[in-house]
Structure 1
Amino acid sequence: MKSLKNKSHTIINLSALVTIIILFFGSIISTANAQSLKNEEKTAAFKPFPVRAFHIDLRIQVMTIPALKNFAKELSDFGINTLIMEWEASYPYEKHQTISNKYAYSRSEVKEFVSYCDSLGIDVIPLQQCFGHVEYILRHSRYSELRESKKDPSQVCPLKIEADKELFTDLFADMASLHNSKYIHIGGDETRLLGHCSICKEKVAKDGTSALFADYLSAICNIVVKMGKVPVLWSDIVLKYPQVVNQLPKETVYVDWNYGWKINHFGDIGKLLEKGLNFWGAPAIRSHPDNWYTTDWQKHFNNQRDFIPYARQAGYKGIVMTSWSTSGVYGFTWDTNYEMIDMTAIRNVYPLSGFRILIAAYAQALRQAEPLDPEAFVVKYAQDRFSLTSSDGKKLWKIMKASPQTVDLSSNAGLDELETIRQSVNEAKKLMALLKPKAHKQEFEHLRLMLDLRVYYLDFKKVESIYESDQYTLEKAKKILPELKKMLVESEKLNNRFTELNKGFLHPDEIKEQNFIRNQKLKNIYTIVRNCTEKNN
């Protein structure tokens, strides 16, 4: 009898335990399902940005037409419906052909590309700078009288208004003739020389810098409006001088570019939003401090994570992913009378061919209501795109988080940081060696090459630190010469890989130029050290 009671208690206890387990896990599953449904409902409920744009910068690294078409098709597949084309001197100007450079497209090629984008449902907006960032125009003697400064051809003088209006009326009309968009982007950013020349100084002293900027920009916007187009402009200077908006056409679109800083970095944007102005937002996938030897992957992922949800919440009508091939600042070679011989972009970066992972992240961030989770995205992308494991995806994320700093050899702090940075990047290289993608191998090779360029840069900086040291002597020169020779051999291997990966994406001559620029400093130092040691043997 006692045995039966014990069995009965055991059965009751087991039954109770099973019930508790079912209730416990049922609760977890129910909560998970509810959360999943909640997220799905939230994602389904939010409205996508009407304008989902990508900015293509052709100031350097001019893409071939087949590459542009392939890129546009992939953007369309990602849900992008707008391109902002910063053609700069790659545009085939008609009346002002002097401006067009050696990589300029033909007019039929531009028509063909715009028509192709039309077939994809992509609106192509031309970007024609009209104030600052016009070095590519003012470098020419034909336009040099419009310079705000003889020594800095980046900006037109806003008080030479009739000549300015004549020029930009022609350029806007030319752009409008080959583009169907209702918009023309007129630039208007980073006008650093406001009030520089003598007549502008007088205007600023009398009416203020804001009036100088507003009067000019108003006149330029009105040219666009008279053409039946809507002016679009970068909003940094407008935010600095917010009263400017009172003089601009009501339909003007303001693009708030934010690459990871505080929302009111340029000025109080909330006050302008209260006026009901049309704002688009603009994060970036290539910007400072990126150069040939570093990409701050984490910064760009975090920029998307933070800024896109803000832009949505703030009621922006559009979002534009910018991607800068260079800083927009140049070095110049001059002859007498400030006649420009040539200009060279400061800060080159890896071409757009290597950044599909960030573009895919942008597309994902636009599709979901929740902020992008960078690590989770990279891990999943590694699995879906490269057929890697989840563990491999985590390795790829660690690689992308490796120290992105550049090295400043002019300070002791820079020297101290060099070894720490090298250690971080060498660990990333070890992890990269473990990754064996089974799909889209060429895309992955861009990522591998970018890391190898980073390692090469840091190895060079170690040798350069000896060359730039106050302890540098002829004996030190003899010691670093073999290292420099080894680096030259390595640079050729990297050049060949870069050439192969970007064949068909960039023009052959531009690939050669990019390889030359990337290795120029190494070759200069090698030549000096070699000549020095040979003469003193």
Structure 2
Amino acid sequence: MSGSSPFKMRFVHLDLKGAPPKVSYLSEIFPLFHALGANGLLIEYEDTFPYEGPLKLLRAPHAYSPSEVTEVLRLAAAHELEVVPLVQTFGHMEFVLKHEALAHLREVALFPNTLNPHEAESLALVGAMVDQVLELHPGARWLHIGCDEVYYLGEGEASRQWLQQEQNTTATLCLSHMRAVASHVQARHPATTPLVWDDMLRDIPEDQLSASGVPQLVEPVLWDYGADLDVQGKALLMEKYRQCGFPRLWAASAFKGATGPSQALPPIEHHLRNNLQWLQVAAQGRKDTLQGIILTGWQRYDHFSVLCELLPVGIPSLAVCLQSLLHGGFTEDVRARVQHLLGISSLEIAGVLSDILALVIQVSLHLRSSVDEMLQMDSLLGRWSGLAQELAAALRRVFPEGTVEEWLQENVHPSLGQLQALLQDLEAASPPPPPASPGPAQARAPEDMGAHPVPSSSVCPTLASC
């Protein structure tokens, strides 16, 4: 590969808390990841990990089995993709704290997103989660322990009492829990280094960070998904972390899932600019300070959010971003290489990679507008119902049924339902046909009587699941 990349590690983030791909699809896509320049995966399992024992309640119905996780790791190793698992241990704990049996561990009783760091049971819980995940990932060099967006920290009753004591702050509270989780990893899994998202660390003063003991335990991942990120500001933040004692840092860009919670198609230009600016950040910092970069591909903004861009739809964006990071920019040669690797003639919207992408483009760009413009055309319903069935079949080859149904309910069914309802109203309002004249026509079967609006019961017979 190219030696021009400042990022020796280039990890693709697989966010499995929404639309977890079938293992058969991962077997098809991992070779492409490798060919595009990836050498690792950050796998965020959330509720798709096969937790056992008391943690079994965390499993989603579509969770992977232990043997499937093992197969994913085998496939990744076969294509030289190092796997880093991610376990949320502080914020974004909705998939854990939504359960009644664990709701008492919430920082604020009303909100299931943040863990109460004062409870000994909280640390025992995340420790058990970490141990089970690492048991299925033997030899993992890194474990990402999350710790981003710890909303409402300090607002629980126990925290409010604790904060009344002199010198106690929310920063101290945050660092204390990070240190406790990282110390558990170090004690139980000494060959594994914890990673953390850096947003909760950015505003903590240098002297407090340095004295916390956290820099000796974790490696921060500096994340920014903007197309106009502050390059100089990021370089200064890197230097701050280095001064605080963090020996290694990571960057995190995005290739999808960062421009809107219900986005259907990733804006490639936005993500390309974001990754190119991370190249500028790397050039500003000290050599080898950045261990690598994680290209995030969020599937939901949080556990309760709707689905955003599906993985197959994000592949062209991933290809452009990975190749640009690998070769140090996006030149015409890089564009040609991307098109060759994807087997397409153009990166424009018409040059598509898969049936899913082609069908999603049609739905996203044309379904709503065509319904608005042509509501009077009864043939429209049949056309879009057929395309919806085709898309559903394509999605089922990659995702479990629940994911397919959720995506269609969000992106397809509302417009089709609107069209169905209008056609029913038009049919009901139409005057009855004139009496038929006597003759052979009276003997014709109903299906030979010409075109009529398709009744709702026969439109996409499996509309609820197509």
TM-score normalised by the chain length of structure 1? 0.69
1:363–1:298 distance in 2 versus 1, CA, 3 Å: closer
User: In the alignment, what sits opposite 1:94?
Assistant: 52
Shift in Å, 1:201: 2.5
Deviations 1:169-192 (A, max 9, x none): 111110111102022110000111
Q: How many residues align?
A: 413
Shift in Å, 1:352: 0.8
User: In the alignment, what sits opposite 2:411?
Assistant: 518
Structural mapping, 1:318-397, within 5 Å: 318-328=292-302, 330=304, 345-346=305-306, 348-368=307-327, 370-373=328-331, 377-378=334-335, 381-382=338-339, 385-386=342-343, 388=345, 393=346, 396-397=347-348
RMSD over aligned Cα atoms: 3.2
User: In the alignment, what sits opposite 2:395?
Assistant: 502
Contact 2:36 2:341 in 1 (8 A): no
Shift in Å, 1:454: 2.6
Contact 2:146 2:196 in 1 (8 A): yes
Matched, 1:283 2:220: no
The one-letter code sitting in structure 2 at the alignment partner of 1:201 is R
Deviations 1:117-147 (A, max 9, x none): 2343332111100111111111111111111
User: In the alignment, what sits opposite 2:358?
Assistant: 448
One of 38, 59, 65 as aligned partner of 2:17: 59
Contact 1:285 1:321 in 2 (8 A): yes
Structural mapping, 1:101-116, within 5 Å: 101-116=60-75
1:217–1:459 distance in 2 versus 1, CA, 3 Å: same
Structural mapping, 1:297-336, within 5 Å: 297-311=268-282, 313-314=284-285, 315-328=289-302, 330=304
1:498–1:534 distance in 2 versus 1, CA, 3 Å: closer
1:274–1:266 distance in 2 versus 1, CA, 3 Å: closer
Matched, 1:272 2:280: no
Contact 1:460 1:522 in 2 (8 A): no
User: In the alignment, what sits opposite 1:72?
Assistant: 30
One of 144, 166, 181 as aligned partner of 2:103: 144
The one-letter code sitting in structure 1 at the alignment partner of 2:197 is W
Shift in Å, 1:462: 5.4
C-alpha separation between the residues in 2 aligned to 1:319 and 1:325?
Answer: 19
Secondary structure in 2 matching 1:148: strand
One of 259, 262, 266 as aligned partner of 2:230: 262
TM-score normalised by the chain length of structure 2? 0.78
Deviations 1:426-449 (A, max 9, x none): xxxxxx4xx6xxxxx7x2544433
Matched, 1:252 2:218: yes
Question: RCO greater where, 1 or 2, for CA within 8 Å and sep 6 or more?
Answer: 2
1:385–1:220 distance in 2 versus 1, CA, 3 Å: closer
Matched, 1:215 2:176: yes
Contact 1:189 1:234 in 2 (8 A): yes
Compare 450-459 and 79-88 and name the one that shifted more.
450-459
1:457–1:63 distance in 2 versus 1, CA, 3 Å: same
User: In the alignment, what sits opposite 2:194?
Assistant: 231
Aligned-pair identity (%): 21
Shift in Å, 1:364: 1.6
1:73–1:299 distance in 2 versus 1, CA, 3 Å: same
Shift in Å, 1:536: 10
The one-letter code sitting in structure 2 at the alignment partner of 1:454 is S
The one-letter code sitting in structure 2 at the alignment partner of 1:217 is M
Contact 1:58 1:87 in 2 (8 A): yes
Contact 1:84 1:127 in 2 (8 A): yes
Compare 263-272 and 281-290 and name the one that shifted more.
263-272
Structure 1 unmatched runs, 5+: 1-39, 331-344, 400-431, 436-440, 464-479
The one-letter code sitting in structure 2 at the alignment partner of 1:246 is A
The one-letter code sitting in structure 2 at the alignment partner of 1:259 is Y
C-alpha separation between the residues in 2 aligned to 1:183 and 1:379?
Answer: 34
The one-letter code sitting in structure 2 at the alignment partner of 1:99 is L
Shift in Å, 1:47: 6.2
1:529–1:288 distance in 2 versus 1, CA, 3 Å: farther
Shift in Å, 1:357: 1.9
Contact 1:131 1:155 in 2 (8 A): yes
